[in-house]
Amino acid sequence: MQPIVLLFPGQGSQKPGMAHDLAEAFAPARATLDAVDAALETPLARLMFDGPADALTLTHNAQPALLAHGAALWAVLTDALGDVLGRSVVAAAGHSLGEFTAHHAAGAMDAPTAARLVRRRGTLMHEAGVARPGAMAALLGEADRPVEAICAAASADGGLVVPANYNAPGQVVISGEVAAVERAMARAKEAGIRRAVRLPVSGAFHSPLMAPAQAGLEAALADAALSDPRFPVYANVTAEPVTDAGVATALLARQLTAPVRWTEVVQALAARHPDALFVELGPGSVLAGLVRKIAPAVQVTSAGGAAEVEALLARLDVAHAG
């Protein structure tokens, strides 16, 4: 079978109806969602299926919902293909909270443990955002000077703003205190950025403003006692492969205050595995689109619903039989 790189999306990909047809079509998906509901002691699956969207979008709901969806997809694939799939996966990565889902797929933690961790992560992030309000904005297009310089200049006028997500060439998200973010948006437009758009989030994620949440997440990760991942998981913080549980634990905590280096992650994966099939597991196809911008030569596909999973299984089964 062709080598496979797994990709798991982050917050923003959630939507009402997510995983509903998956749960109806595949028993392993339903069992995974039931296990997450039991772990969280809440009917998360019902919220995923039926909404409302504003409740699903809340950080402490969106994060475990996306984890549950990714875990359900992985359960379906492993149930259908077993060891054949396990031997074919050469690496995984996830955008922000998706890195937790990647570690679940790599066997570092089971789905209930991962769901409790990201629920705690979402709660801590929300609390940090309330205690120290912040904002995030997407800068789309190319500027005539680096985004780091734009943020430094905006911060020099008071407040703090930093690059938070290096999503793809021409797509960077900044994060920080509200006034500083707004100044950086204005400076970015002066520098030639095509668009600067505020994002509907409850805090300055992936910035130093999240420091109060980091200690709490470190404690939760220590209690979870991760195992070594069975295949490398590329870290958002370093864009390097991780195969050690201790390193993974430290980097997952550092995520909260460090930028997501998604462009570098994809570049590193594409350089090491140019012939792999990159498979995004989750609702939508945001990561697949970013991969096509960052590494247009690699093969990439998305699977979030039952029909897409059936198509992916058929493709992988044919490849295995061949």
- Give me the residue spans of the domains in the chain: 4-129+209-321, 134-202
Predicted model pTM: 0.96
pLDDT grade for 320, boundaries at 50, 70 and 90? very low
Instruction: Note whether 248 and 229 are within 8 A (CB).
Output: yes
According to the model, what pLDDT value does residue 318 have?
Answer: 53
Paired tokens of 193: 């950025």
Mean pLDDT to the nearest integer, 33-57: 97
Q: Which residue among 96, 202, 285, 302 is the active-site one?
A: 96
Mean pLDDT to the nearest integer, 23-46: 98
Topology annotation, domain 4-129+209-321 = Malonyl-Coenzyme A Acyl Carrier Protein; domain 2 (3.40.366)
Question: Starting from the edge strand earliest in sequence, which strands make up the sheet with 277-281, in order?
Answer: 241-242, 233-234, 89-94, 4-8, 277-281, 299-303
Instruction: With residue 160 as reference, give the H or E element that holds it.
Output: none
Chain position carrying tokens 């979030």: 304
Mean pLDDT to the nearest integer, 18-26: 97
pLDDT tens-digit map of 241-296: 999 999 999 999 999 999 999 999 999 999 999 999 999 999 999 999 999 999 99
Q: CA 134, CA 15: separation in Å to the nearest integer? A: 24
Give percent above pLDDT 90 in the chain.
93
Angle between helices 59-81 and 98-105 (to 10 degrees): 30
Q: Which residues partner with 165 through β-bridges?
A: 173, 260
According to the model, what pLDDT value does residue 129 have?
Answer: 93
Q: Is 206 a catalytic residue?
A: yes
CB-neighbour burial class of residue 176 (10 A; exposed 0-12, middle 13-18, buried 19+)? buried
Q: Which residue among 104, 206, 285, 302 is the active-site one?
A: 206
Write the CB contacts of 32 (distance below 8 Å, at least 6 apart in sequence).
68, 71, 72, 75, 111
Q: CA 113, CA 223: separation in Å to the nearest integer? A: 10
According to the model, what pLDDT value does residue 193 have?
Answer: 96
Task: Please check the confidence at residue 56 and state whether its pLDDT lies above 60.
Answer: yes
Q: Is 227 a catalytic residue?
A: no
According to the model, what pLDDT value does residue 84 have?
Answer: 84
How many residues in the chain?
A: 322
Closest by CA to 184, choosing from 130, 119, 134, is: 134
Pick the CATH number of 134-202 from 3.30.70.250, 3.30.70.3280, 3.90.870.10, 3.40.50.2000: 3.30.70.250
